[in-house]
């Protein structure tokens, strides 16, 4: 029996259900209010992308420090500190988003995923639109969070244009390459041995982020151009 199946079997035996509780139908973050991060971005950060080395492949994310300076600085800081290593994409909603970055996803309980963070929030930096591949920060709902402060660590990737989220969440990056990996993560939602509720699935460690790292942007832009040329030539 796979490891995830054994985990779910233990949970089913103890709880009597296999549904993952999600806070809201839109991307959400830490359930409890937390302090606002006061750290400002460093003055001169080399241009870089964040590469997520997942259990099913690589995703390269271009960052937008001009539009979301504090959010980008925090994301780079967490990546440098290896905060995201060993976390998972705990929320897969086909046709909507994949979401990760919750430290709760390290434990044995998939039902608390989506409620954790680093212990602080980030100020809203809402400028960019939710185009296909946009990377944005999750947050608590407006009723609890009228300032629309972002989660300190949870982020999501838009699987299509999502204009209904424009003006409400901080978009700070864009998928540069790695759509085959994203598609593989979304495909995990079809498995039967994972926690789920409605259209939202939690693949657990099947959607593991093995390592997040910073790499020179030029290298990955060149890869993206080559991939685009190959695709257009087909």
Q: Is residue 65 part of a domain?
A: yes
Q: Is residue 224 part of a domain?
A: no
Q: Is 194 left (phi over 0), alpha (psi -120 to 50) or beta?
A: beta
Q: Is residue 225 part of a domain?
A: no
What does the pLDDT look like over 102-133, one tens digit per residue?
999 999 999 999 999 999 999 999 999 999 99
What residues pair up with 161 in beta bridges, in sequence order?
none
Q: Is residue 229 part of a domain?
A: no
Number of independent structural domains in the chain = 1
Q: Is residue 91 part of a domain?
A: yes
Q: Is 53 left (phi over 0), alpha (psi -120 to 50) or beta?
A: beta
Q: Is residue 87 part of a domain?
A: yes
- Model pTM greater than 0.85? no
Residue 98 belongs to what domain range?
Answer: 3-216
CATH number where 171 lies: 2.40.100.10
Q: Is residue 40 part of a domain?
A: yes
CA 14 to centroid of chain Cα atoms: 29
Q: Is residue 234 part of a domain?
A: no
What does the pLDDT look like over 141-158, one tens digit per residue?
999 999 999 999 999 999
Backbone angles phi, psi at 171, to 5 degrees: -90, 125
């Amino acid at each position: 029996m796979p490891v995830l199946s054994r985990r779910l079997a233990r949970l089913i035996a103890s709880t009597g259900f296999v549904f993952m509780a999600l806070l809201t139908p839109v991307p959400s973050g830490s359930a409890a209010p937390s302090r606002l991060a006061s750290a400002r971005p460093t003055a001169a950060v080399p241009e870089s992308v964040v590469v997520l080395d997942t259990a099913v492949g690589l995703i390269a994310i271009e960052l937008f420090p001009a539009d979301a300076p504090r959010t980008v600085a925090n994301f780079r800081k967490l990546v440098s500190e290896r905060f995201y290593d060993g976390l998972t994409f705990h929320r897969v909603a086909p046709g909507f988003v994949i979401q990760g970055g919750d430290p709760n996803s390290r434990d044995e309980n998939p039902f608390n995923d989506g409620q954790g963070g680093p212990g602080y929030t980030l100020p809203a930096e809402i400028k960019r639109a939710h185009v296909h591949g946009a990377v944005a920060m999750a947050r608590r709902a407006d009723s609890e969070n009228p300032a629309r402060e972002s989660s300190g660590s949870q982020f999501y990737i838009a699987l299509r244009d999502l204009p209904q989220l424009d003006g409400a969440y901080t978009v700070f990056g864009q998928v540069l390459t790695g759509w085959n990996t994203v598609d593989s993560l979304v495909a995990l939602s079809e498995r039967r041995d994972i926690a789920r509720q409605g259209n939202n699935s939690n693949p657990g460690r099947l959607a593991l982020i093995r390592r997040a790292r910073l790499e020179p942007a030029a290298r990955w832009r060149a890869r993206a151009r080559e991939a685009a040329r190959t695709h257009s030539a087909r």
